[in-house]
Every structure is written in structure tokens, then in C-alpha cells.
Amino acid sequence: MKISVIGCGYLGAVHAAAMASLGHEVVGVDVDASRVASLAAGLPPFYEPGLPELLRSGVERGALTFSTNLREAKGAAVHFVCVGTPQRPDGPGADLTFVDAAFTALHEIVAPGDVVVGKSTVPVGTAARLAAELAEAVPGAHLVWNPEFLREGFAVGDTLSPDRVVYGVDGAAPAATEALDAVYASVLAAGTPRIVTDFATAELVKVAANSFLATKISFINAMAELCETAGGDVVALADAIGHDERIGRRFLGAGLGFGGGCLPKDIRAFVARADELGAENAVAFLREVDAINLRRRARMVEVTEEVCGGSVAGRTIGVLGAAFKPESDDVRDSPALDVAATLAARGAHVVVADPQATANAAAVRPELRYTTNALEACRDADVVLLLTEWREFRELDPDDLGAVVHGRRMVDGRNVLDPARWRGAGWTYRALGRP
Ligand SMILES: NC(=O)c1ccc[n+]([C@@H]2O[C@H](COP(=O)([O-])OP(=O)(O)OC[C@H]3O[C@@H](n4cnc5c(N)ncnc54)[C@H](O)[C@@H]3O)[C@@H](O)[C@H]2O)c1
Ligand SMILES: O=c1ccn([C@@H]2O[C@H](COP(=O)(O)OP(=O)(O)O[C@H]3O[C@H](CO)[C@@H](O)[C@H](O)[C@H]3O)[C@@H](O)[C@H]2O)c(=O)[nH]1
């Protein structure tokens, strides 16, 4: 089947390459010419494990092409919309500028019978509006809202073997459901659960899932705050409650909290949308989820100051991690970068190490110094902060690192190091939520 993917960022580029690997003829369209040039050459413009191979294979077979010209998408039976929905610059709600522009442009090339599939994360009510506009512009074209649940770092596997697929439909168009079933035929044949529902539910499923995940992280971080005052150990606490299968250990990783291009902006947009709908009380708790999360960053700065004897001014700090999480080069709302920038603003000499994210980090925080090498970042450091738990940072040897620093002081912002091992090697070890 001929398919188009509009918007080839972290979501769309993976989706396009994955759909080509399923045997479809795919054209990816993006307004960013340098991104298109890179993708067309078979080179991902960002770091995502597994994507280089998938992309190269699709491009080399001629099954996957990229263009800045939306007209190339003409003739596709299914058009996936994967453009960004960032936080608005002037408030907590979602910025729908890119979605609206993409749909308006699609009206010019979509034919009756085509199916437009929304994958971007949008406020509830958006799909119904876009469907009405599409029906008016192109009678006989259909809209399905098919939210995406992939995680960066696991995006290829999550796209080809999702936990579930969700179709939001307007109820009157079995042809639309059938077209999407044909696109995902091999995914569905593997037994992937498929939920067909209305537009509003499909939109809400997406933000509900992210809200739940964010709440789980903030719950354990709230427990970390209590552990800090009461003297408990949040890692042991998480292990203990996580053995209860109703709770589960995943997403109980206490530490610096969540960032990225999804969880923070999605919970804020959800609260903003609920307010607009007059249902502000329903998700008011998400404001506290956000607040708990941001307090972790402030606490990390505070602990670093304590370790430095009260002030970081003039201190040399080695920061391990810039990406919002390991296995990604994404620095959108990165807790690590936020903390590094705050410390630099307070007068510290900060050097940040990250295996993949230094270029993106330098673009948004040019005032910091960067390297891809942990030992280099920590040379002569008075204190080392572990802020993104890349495997190479988790596996650092306390003596190897101890040989390059000025003072053996470690603040583990992700609770991934063994305190006994580091203390045994003569380090002052501090963490969030642990004695
Ligand atoms: N990143 C993820 O892991 C992920 C996972 C699930 C859902 N989502 C959702 O998917 C959407 C996209 O997220 P992302 O992280 O890929 O964003 P992104 O910023 O990486 O990519 C968006 C892309 O859309 C392009 N674009 C903007 N306007 C366009 C237009 N009119 N026509 C063509 N291209 C256009 C941009 O140039 C950019 O390349 C968001 O709604 C996000 O919430 C993201
Ligand atoms: O126990 C945990 C787990 C995660 N995090 C942090 O939470 C953030 C988000 O992590 P993760 O959810 O793995 O990354 P994303 O790639 O942003 O994926 C989320 O956001 C996507 C975009 O909406 C969704 O598709 C995914 O299902 C959802 O997991 C990162 O900063 C992590 O460091 C923690 O602090 N503790």
C-alpha cells in the first residue's frame, strides 16, 4: 500500500521506516529540508537504536522516500500525521499550529476515499474538529485517530510490536478501520490487541497513559521526599512495594524525575484542556504531579550545594548526562540539562558528558561545556553528578573516576550506583531519597 507520513521527527521518521519494513511504499514529508536530506540519504537525523538499519534498508530498496513537497504524498491511500504538538510558548496548553497547518495542506492533496490518520498527541476534541473540517474540504475522505505509545530508545520495537493499537473513529466509516487494519496487518496478526473506539476516547487514552506514568514517577518521588525527611531509603521502598503485582516495579525509579518531549507537556496540556472543558477538578492532581517532579530538580541542586559546603560558586562540577533519558539524544525538557544550567548560573564550572546528546544540548544551552567522555567531564571535578543513567555511566569504576577528580564526591541523581561500593572506594556518596 502507498502510505505517506507527514512530519518526520522522533515519531514520524521511525513510523515511516517501520511501515516500509512492513512492505509498504512510504513517502515521508517534512518542512525541515535538512532533516529530509538526511533521511533521504538513509541517515537518521537523531539517535535511535535500530533506526539506522531500518532506514537504510527502506531507502536502498526504494520503498522509502522523503520530500519537503507534500504533493509527493498524493496518491497515498493512508496519510499519517506525525507533526509536533509542543507546549504553547505562552501557557500550559498544546500548540496545535503544526497539526492545523498539516491538515490544511493535506486538504489540497487528499482524495475521496483516502484515510488520514492522526498520530500526534492532541487535546481531546481536536479529532472531531479536524474530521469535520476534512469532511467539508474533501467529502468522502476519512479520519482515524491512532495515538502512538512508542518510547524513545525503544521506538523501533515499540512501533513494530506495540502493546496495543487504538483507533478512534467517528463510527460511520468501516472503510477507514479496514484501511488501517491493512496497514498494520502483520502487527495485528501477531496478536496485538486492537481497540476501536470514538475519537474522544482515543485522544484520552493517550494522555491518560502518559498521565498515569507521570503520576507513578511522581508518587515514588513524593516517597523520596518523605524518605529524605524521615531517614528512609526510597529504593528499598520501591523494591518492596513493587513486588506487589498490582503495583509493579516499573516506573518506580525515584530520582531526578521525568522530562522529555512528552510526559511534561502532555500532563500540562491535559490540565489546560480539562480547565477549558470546565472539568478542572478531574485532573487537578496532575498539577501536583508536575510540582513534585520539578521539586526533584531543585532538590538535586540543593544536595549539590550541600556537598560543596553550601555554595557551588567557583566549584568544578562534572555532570554525567544531558539527554532526558538514556538511549536518546533528546534534550527537550531534560532534567539533567536543567540542573546543569542552574548550577552554572550559580557560578559553578560545569562540564557535561553525554554519549549522544551533546550537539542538541549545546544548541539549547550553549553556555555549558560538553564532551562525550565521562572521565574528561570529571577531570579535576569537586563533585560529580550522575543525571542520566547511560550504561557507560552506571558501569563507571569508582577508582578510575576517582583518579581524575579533585574530590571524591558523587551525587547519584538516578539511584543507579551501589552506595556501598562507592563509599568503600572513599567517595562521599549522596542520592535523592536515600540515606
Ligand atoms: N517522541 C516520541 O517519543 C513520541 C511518542 C508518541 C507520541 N508523540 C507525539 O508525536 C508528535 C510528534 O512528536 P515528535 O517527538 O516526533 O516531534 P518532533 O518535533 O521530533 O517532530 C515533528 C516534525 O514535524 C515536522 N513538521 C512540523 N510541521 C510540519 C508540516 N506542516 N508538515 C510536515 N512536517 C511538519 C517538524 O519539522 C518535525 O520534523 C507529538 O504530538 C508528540 O507528542 C511523540
Ligand atoms: O521509573 C522511571 C521511569 C522514567 N523516568 C523518567 O521519565 C521520563 C520519560 O521516560 P519514558 O517514558 O521512558 O520516555 P518517553 O520516550 O518520553 O516515553 C513516554 O512518552 C511517549 C510520548 O508520548 C509515550 O509514547 C511513551 O509511552 C511514554 O513512556 C524520562 O525522563 C525518564 O528518566 C523516571 O524518572 N523514573
The C-alpha atoms of residue 183 and residue 177 are separated, in whole angstroms, by 10
Task: Tell which residue, 4, 152, 119, has the closest CA to residue 64.
Answer: 4
- Cβ atoms of 301 and 365 within 8 Å: the answer is no
The C-alpha atoms of residue 140 and residue 137 are separated, in whole angstroms, by 10
Residue nearest to atom 13 of ligand 2 (CA): 151
Residue nearest to atom 21 of ligand 1 (CA): 9
For the CA of 12, the nearest atom of ligand 1: 16
Q: Where are the beta strands (DSSP E) in 124-230?
A: 142-145, 165-169, 194-198
pLDDT (tens digit per residue) in 371-423: 999 999 999 999 999 999 999 999 999 999 999 999 999 999 999 999 999 99
Residue nearest to atom 14 of ligand 2 (CA): 151
pLDDT band at 174 (very low <50, low <70, confident <90, very high): confident
- Cβ atoms of 111 and 192 within 8 Å: the answer is no
* 97 in a known ligand binding site: no
* 325 in a known ligand binding site: yes
The C-alpha atoms of residue 17 and residue 39 are separated, in whole angstroms, by 10
Regarding the beta carbon of 36 and ligand 1, being less than 6 Å apart is answered no
- DSSP codes joined into one string, 250-274: TT---SS---SSSHHHHHHHHHHHH
pLDDT (tens digit per residue) in 56-107: 999 999 999 999 999 999 999 999 999 999 999 999 999 999 999 999 999 9
**Domains annotated on the chain, with CATH:** 2-192 (3.40.50.720), 198-434 (3.40.50.720)
> Taking the complete model, does pTM exceed 0.95, yes or no?
yes
Regarding the beta carbon of 217 and ligand 2, being less than 6 Å apart is answered yes
Query: Is pLDDT above 70 for 172?
Result: no
Calculate how far, in angstroms, residue 419's C-alpha sits from the geometric centre of ligand 2.
Answer: 25
